[in-house]
Chains A and B, each alone.
Chain A
Amino acid sequence: MKSDPKGVLTGVHYLDGDYACGEGAMAAGCRFVAGYPITPSTEVVERISRRFPVMGGTFIQMEDELASMAAVAGAAWTGTKSMTVTSGPGFSLMMENIGLAAMMETPCVVVNVQRGGPSTGLPTMVGQADMMQARWGSHGDYRIIALSPQSPQEAFDLTIDAFNLAESYRVPVMFMMDECVGHMTEKVVIPPAEEIDIVPRTLSSAAPGEYLPYKVNGRPVPEMVRAGDGYRFHTTGLTHDERGYPVMSAECQQLNVQRIVDKIDRHTDDIVRFDEEAMDGAEVVVVAYGITARVARMGIELARRQGVKVGFLRPVVVWPFPERRIRELAGQVKAFVVPEINLGQMVLEVERIAAGKVPAVHVPHAGGGVHDPEAISKAIVEAAR
């Protein structure tokens, strides 16, 4: 279906990534946001809190990020599309209820405008060091989907995709921006509402007495109902059966947890998205995401001037990672070069998939700034030797 024009600010704008993300959420149909102020993400909720009252949405500033994430999960169960926004320290606090949302299979979006960490770290300066936390941060086995925009335009476009993926797979989706993209101002084109595709909530048509909240009828995920529609259903963060009733057994754990993992793992090819260029005959492939993808282009250009054939792969969906493609490339190239603003996170994924066939060379940056393109080109030239 198409978007609701009330939430779509059609036109050509000059926006920063945070504002564009907020506009993307509203265009995607988001009508409930709970948040707690934290640099460098606050502009997202500032934008939304100004726009929601004139378009039928409710924003609430909660007492902390634990509460924000809990409120978002609650609102999602009413059928209202919901989102929260934060940065590293708040992301840590949200992990508890991200796990709840994963276990209850609650569609929602969590925006993390990444700054330098750990702890309070560099509140106003860039980092990309929450990538593994996005994937593994809550306890237990579960899966999420994560996206990483490289520009304000993508902050708009991919926020819509994040909501659509959340609905398609009934999963919390992590929107992994970084401070540079969040605070960078560029042209953002917002299309008319009728050009924006929205994945609506799949509501069950079962009769109230027959509805089973976690029964999968040949679909990737079970159908949802909304609180207040007469189903009188039950859901819990405990291991549960198809009725949503707690069952404390190894057998039920296997069925429950395996299914919430499989619903993503078995649809990886449908979810994965990446850009690539110049792969034909490439000796070295650079893998980069977010702001670092843009910096890496300069590094690639410098390496090409020195005669190295460099390919470029940019994961747009970062979790699940483009495993199949990286595996193919591992049989064709001499090395991967992975610059990122952390001391080694997604490089571990490239290294795991390359499985010793070729090296995955990390170009680290501890945060607070972006890479010097020459550091990237140097790594590329050395990897090509």
Chain B
Amino acid sequence: MSAVTAPPRMDEHPIAPYLRMDRMPHIWCPTCGIGTVVKCFATALEEADVDLDKIAICSGIGCTGRVAGYMKLDAFHTTHGRAIPFATGLKLGRPELDVVVFSGDGDLAGIGGNHFIHAARRNMDLLVILVNNFIYGMTGGQNAPTTPITAKSSTMPFGNFERPFNLPHLAASCGATFVSRWTCLHIRRLTKCMRMALRHKGFRFIEVIAPCATLYARLNRLGGGLELMRFYHDNAVIKHGADTREVDIGYQDTIVCGNFVDEERPTFLEAMHDHYEKVLGDRYVPMPPEGGWIHE
């Protein structure tokens, strides 16, 4: 197990050792929530005392899609929506890796929705952190599959009328074995949740509601980032173990947070190993943890 490269210095940010500081400043707008989620994740990595050399992080495209690029880990900035299948290849190609997918709502639930449901169904051993800002941020505020009904977006200028996804319910109903939702305001709870998720096996899903002051709040005249955080403070309700059917998010309505699902079920690889050991016995040759026939 290897620690981070160097202990943090007094004159640098405590999570600087987890970041590619040579890529700072980042591209996120002032009061964007993504940086907070990254801070929580880096803190969770530190607290969970995991081997950083064995963690790979994968992002798709979009504002949150930039996270992989800022984390000082083996990092893959892939195509739009395909972070989960790319991560699946990383996990199956070298099973000893812990693979984290960090991306946005448009990326993972919109264009990548099919991959999301199938990875959950397989209980693929991935930690998926989805930052939901209710909108396509990078491209300028278009409607997302998470935009609440009546909220305005640049492609629903008269307000959205499409029913959005209830993402925790989608993940849970497809078979995810760890499902949570928090907001950017819940820094300690989110960090603790990430720490738990890092230790859990299988498909783990954390939705983080995050402010987009530049687009979502501006298009909907909701004020700045601070006003959105105040809104979370006044309207987030913590209900651990809540029935995920009841955690829909309406426009400027209650945000139910908590750890909703936390159960054990064989992961894709565990199920595969168990099955082949049962049916093939000694003939079964599993792929080694470090990968298949690596010849250097």
Contacts and interface: CB of A to CB of B under 8 A. Distances in A.
Interface of A: 1, 4, 6-7, 29, 31-32, 34, 53-58, 60, 62-64, 66-68, 70-82, 96-97, 99-100, 198, 200-201, 203, 209, 226-238, 243, 245-246
B264 interface: no
A4 B295 CA distance: 10
Interface in B53-79: 53-54, 56, 58, 68-69, 72-79
Interface residues of B, number: 54
Given A54-B285, A237-B78, A246 B69 contact: yes
A380 B73 CA distance: 61
A71 B276 contact: no
B82 interface: yes
Chain B, interface SS category: mixed
Contact of B86 (A73, A228, A233): A73
Contacts of B293: 4, 6-7, 29, 31, 56, 80-81
Contacts of A31: 287, 291-293
A93 to B, nearest CB: 11
B292 A80 contact: yes
B253 interface: no
A70 B79 contact: yes
Of the listed residues A57, A60, A229, A232, the one surrounded by the most CB atoms of chain B closer than 10 A to its CB is A232
Interface stretch (B34-42, B90-98, B163-171): B90-98
B218 interface: no
A72 B75 contact: no
Contact of B2 (A70, A81, A230): A230
B52 interface: yes
Contacts of B118: 62-63, 67
Nearest to A103: B79
B292 A234 contact: no
Contact of A74 (B22, B88, B114, B286): B88
B89 to A, nearest CB: 3
B192 to A, nearest CB: 25
Interface string B236-247: 000000000000
Interface in B250-296: 268, 272, 276, 280, 283-288, 290-296
A118 B65 CA distance: 34
B200 interface: no
B78 A100 contact: yes
Contacts of B68: 234
Of the listed residues B68, B78, B285, B295, the one surrounded by the most CB atoms of chain A closer than 10 A to its CB is B295
Contacts of A54: 280, 283-285
A58 B283 contact: no
A232 B51 CA distance: 12
